[in-house]
Amino acid sequence: MKRVGVAILGLGVVGGGTYKTLVDHREFYQKTQNVDIVVESVLDKNTARLKELGVPEECIAGSIAEVVANPAIDIVIETIGGVGVAKEFVMMALKEGKTVVTANKEMISKCSHELERIARRNSCGLYYEASCVGGVPIIRTLLDGVQANHITEMMGIVNGTTNYILTKMAQDGADYQTALKEAQALGYAEFDPTNDVEAFDSTYKLSILSSMAFHTKVPYTKVHREGITTVDAKDIAIGKEFGYALKLLAIGKNSADGVEVRVHPTFIPAEHPLASVNDAYNAVYLRGDALDDIMLYGKGAGAFPTASAVVSDVIYAATHSEIKYSTFKNNATADSNVKFISDFSTAYYIRLSVVDKAGVLAKICSVFSKYGISIVEIAQKGRECENSDVVPLVIITHKTKENAIRNAVAKLKVSELATVESVIRVEA
């Protein structure tokens, strides 16, 4: 039986879950995978955490140099996070010919071109299933499940924190701050939730997944990004009346016109499979030219769901002698012949506050007409205050260009015909 030694860098939530999974399932992997995976070394300065997990004294490393110099270690697992120390340690491991498994979406999104170059040079692997969508095997699916297809579209709920917040706002009518505090109390959101709620996390993941799905480098800087901090519970409630659910979606499209990548709050029809993905769960919806539509769904974070993805990469690396690298030219920037679409087309939900008097609606419609925007539906809601002559006006457009909407909204603001309260994109 093949024996494979591993080291774990960082024993936080994911690292601890990975350690427990490898130790507890060692015999199971021997029986089912015909490989003996041994945790040879762990590196973490938190001695209390080491004791809590029951790490044997002889397995505790004093430095990264000690880890990479150990000939018994074949695979190094990085669960530190970030791009500073984590990147430095991973580079050291790769330079010593150690295969690396990581859950670090920011590092992979920003630095995979550097890391893969070192891995190729030293004939070792770089695996990162756990970097995207937790325990959901989306990367393995893209590599080994749907490779017969040209993937033309992907839409995903890839961040559990924001999905939980939006679920609470939709189900309980809570405002954003209340839902955020609840997410923090439950451990779904960090004390500083910026990375999640401003959609940086989702942007990194979309960069990775769209690069793999479309077989071309999609730098995270090419992703249009908007978070959920300005989402109003009023819009979620009104959207329900129109038959929509609001989700923070990571959207990638690949067509003859170019590549389109964006992350933002999005209304989708209530009957869409993604609309029923609630709480901290994640899902990715793929469209291929041969298989049509497929959706993967599951827990997108947590110690053991993410550890499941980490260990699956460890097992894959341990049982496959041939190393797979990117199917595209993995450089720091995109290929010069790839066009990225910023003036994308979609439908829009627009909520305005307008003065309830004759002629205003006609003038607003003329602004939209000027920019070639076709309107599907207009609904005037009741006054929010009896003594006010201002009423909410909701407009749903046909699919139109992003720049046309921006120009129309800017014109409305200048004309003082209406106060633009919210603009939310709508996907079928």
Distance CA 113, CA 173 (A): 44
| C-alpha distances in Å from residue 25, one per residue of 88, 92, 134 | 30, 28, 19
Catalytic residue of the set 98, 105, 205, 247: 205
- 130, 81 contact by CB (below 8 A): no
Contacts of 275 (CB under 8 A, 6+ apart): 245, 247, 268, 269
* Helix or strand (DSSP H, E) at 295: strand 292-299
Q: Which two tokens stand for residue 337?
A: 């012949």
Residues 6+ apart with CB under 8 A from 296: 133, 136, 137, 138, 141, 283, 284, 286
- Helix, strand or coil, per DSSP, at residue 424: strand
Question: Of 389, 339, 380, which is closest to residue 361 (Cα–Cα)?
Answer: 380
- CA-to-CA separations, 260 to 143, 152, 218, 292, in angstroms, rounded: 21, 10, 10, 19
Task: Report d(CA 67, CA 88) in Å as an integer.
Answer: 13
The answer to whether residues 208 and 132 touch, using CB atoms and an 8 Å cutoff, is: yes
Is 205 tagged catalytic? yes
Question: Judging by DSSP bridges, how do beta strands 224-225 and 258-269 pair with one another?
Answer: parallel
Tokens 């074949």 belong to residue: 74
Strand 400-401 vs strand 345-355: parallel, antiparallel, or unpaired? antiparallel
CA-nearest of 95, 94, 97, 78 to 86 is 78
Catalytic positions are 205
